[in-house]
Amino acid sequence: MKASLDNIGVLAISGTTDNNLQLHIYSCQDDFVVPVDSNGFKQYDTLDALHMEEMMKEVYSWKEDPHEFLRRRGLIAKDSSTDDELYVLIVEGFLIFNHRPLNEMFDMRYFLEIPYDVCKKRRSMRVYAPPDPPNYFDGYVWPMYLQNREEMERITSEIVFLDGLKPKDEVLAAVYEDIHKEIARLQGQS
């Protein structure tokens, strides 16, 4: 069994050309975590521990007017043109496919995997405040991953599973190529 490193959902709003492709990795599920549980831990592994409605508001705001969304956040100049820009929003998070309303908005879905032993080793090297209690990975993190993955696979289709052991540039190149293909497909429908 492989573990998720991150899930990536992609939303595209098609413009007139891909010469001015605007890729924005804005929405990160970690930004919407409920502060801490009764033990002082941030629980990332359940939907009720996340402010998903707040995350949805951000995604809806971007989808309604991506140029204005980015301008309000100071990510593009006030006077920049929108005539021939194409916008792509990349939403990442561990549970983004488990929240149906968000999942249904994606044009593309990617699930980055790594083996259990690599995931456990990487987790053990991270520094948390407060630190994970003994056996937290095997007793909580891994079982929640398995539960969430099973649910995700039951409710979500068309997921591309990516090998998280491949070089980052290779994985990114594959996703970038897929995004360009999807953009071409969407522009052909216009």
3-state helix, strand, coil in the chain (%, to 5): 45, 25, 35
CA distance 29 to 84: 30
Length of the chain: 190
**30 assigned to active site:** yes
- Computed on alpha carbons and rounded to an integer, the radius of gyration of the chain in Å comes to 18
Catalytic residue among 6, 18, 30, 178: 30
Beta bridge partners of 11: 89
Question: In 3D, which of 134, 153, 156 has the Cα closest to residue 145?
Answer: 153
CA angle 107, 108, 110 (to 5 degrees): 155
CA distance 33 to 45: 10
Show Cβ contacts of residue 110 under 8 Å, excluding neighbours closer than 6 positions: 7, 8, 9, 10, 159, 160, 161, 162, 175
Amino acid at 56: M
Catalytic residues: 30
